Structure formats: C-alpha cells, structure tokens
Amino acid sequence: MLRGLVFAAAMVVLRLLQGALINAWQTQAGLISVVLLILFVIGVAIWGVLDGRADAKAQPDPDRRQDLAMTWLLAGLFAGIVSGAVAWLIALFYQGLYTGGLINEVTTFAAFTALLVFVPGIIGVAVGRWRIDRNPPPRPEGADEERADTDVFSAVRGDEAPTGEIPAQTAAGAQAEERTGSIATAEREAPTETIPAAGDDDAKTEVIRTDDARHAKPGEEPEKG
C-alpha cells in the first residue's frame, strides 16, 4: 500500500510538471515527457533494488522469500487508478494539466502507470536479490548447528509421539502382563503333593530255574543224581 501511495503521488507531480514544462516549451513536449518518464522509472527501479536486497538479507533461502512480484503488481494497479482519478480531479480546476476523461484515466492511463511501476520494480527486485546472492553475508559460527528443525522433522516427531489412546492400551497391556506374571509366580511357589508308591504295586518277578528240569518232558520226573 505504501508503494502504491508513493508512486501515485509521484505520478501526479510528474504530470503537473509535464503540463507546466510543455506550456513553457511546447516544441520540446516529446523530450520533456520522455525525460520525466525515465526519472520516474529510475525511482521505481531503485526502490525495487532496495526491496530485493532487504528481502534477500532477511531470508537467505530463495524458496522462503516473499512474493514481491504480487506486491509490486498491486502497487502499480493502485498507483495507476489513484493517480488517474486525482489527475482528472485536478484538471477540473487547473487547465494546464493534460488529461482525458475519467474512464480513460482509470483504465488506459492506469494500466500504463501500472506497467511503469511493475516492470521496473520487479527488475529492480531481481537485481537486488542477485547482488546479495552473489556476495552472501558471512554466517556466524555454529549457525548450522543451532538452526531450528524444519517442519518435516517436526512432523516426523509428531508421528512418533504416542496418541491419547496408545497410553491407555499400554497400561492395559502392562496390567495384563502383571496379572499373568503373578499367576505364574503363585503356581511356581505352590507346594507339590508327593504320592508314596505302594509296595504292592511293585511288579512281581517270576524265578525260572535253569536246571535240567526245564528239559524234562511233561509227565516225567526229573532224574535224581
């Protein structure tokens, strides 16, 4: 907004000077108009260079810099419309100012003024940034180590952090594990019952004599020696 106001006022002053000089030297009307426009463009370009330098110093990363193109475009449109309307109002009381109709001033002449502001301004911004990027200021030692993490790392840390439901589930799991461990410990510590083995349960062995009786035929008595 500040740029638009400044350049709108500058354009009104330039047109007043143009009218006065042309009335004094009518044969030099073309040269006077060209010289005044060049001065106006130089002023816009200088402001653009200062804008670009300030933006480059404030943010060394080109991807994080401000969108000065849109800023200068809006400033040019504002300056063109406002200066055209003000010049038309002044022309109602001062006949030395060369203006057209109101519609012509806020459309055709406003577009011309917007180009005079936008094009030199954005060129100046590019030049200012280029000069800073070519000779960047020295960074303080340890700046890389103290640099804050980007949003990507913050998002990763946020994903790793447990949500509100996870602690509850973890606590429930811990309680279940604690109960299971208590039951297992109680089972291990419980006394075991020893059942004595009965003597009758021992298997009886049969003694088989290995003498000649085993060779005797059925019904025969064994030989006596």
Per-residue pLDDT tens digits for 28-38: 888 988 999 99
- Given CA atoms 56, 59, 61, 65 in this order, what sign does their dihedral have? negative
Q: Which pLDDT value is given to residue 199? A: 47
Rounded to a whole number of angstroms, the CA Rg of the chain reads: 51
Helix, coil or strand: residue 214: helix
Angle between helices 108-134 and 68-91 (to 10 degrees): 150
Q: Which of 1-15, 102-116, 127-141, 187-201 has the lowest mean pLDDT?
A: 187-201
Residue 148 sits at the vertex; the CA angle it makes with 164 and 58, to the nearest 5 degrees, is 135
What's the mean pLDDT when you consider all of the chain?
A: 73
Does the pLDDT at position 8 exceed 80? Answer: yes
Does the pLDDT at position 119 exceed 90? Answer: yes
Q: Which pLDDT value is given to residue 144? A: 47
Per-residue pLDDT tens digits for 62-116: 778 877 889 899 999 999 999 999 989 988 888 777 787 888 888 888 999 999 9
Q: Which pLDDT value is given to residue 59? A: 78
Angle between helices 2-24 and 29-58 (to 10 degrees): 160
Range with top average pLDDT, 26-40, 140-154, 194-208: 26-40
pLDDT tier for residue 185 given thresholds of 50, 70 and 90:
low
pLDDT tier for residue 49 given thresholds of 50, 70 and 90:
very high
Q: Which pLDDT value is given to residue 115? A: 92
Q: Which pLDDT value is given to residue 167? A: 46
Task: Write the CA distances from 110 to 3, 59, 103, 122, integer angstroms.
Answer: 15, 33, 10, 18
For residues 158-173, give the mean pLDDT.
50
CB of 130 closer than 8 Å to CB of 48 = no
CB of 164 closer than 8 Å to CB of 86 = no
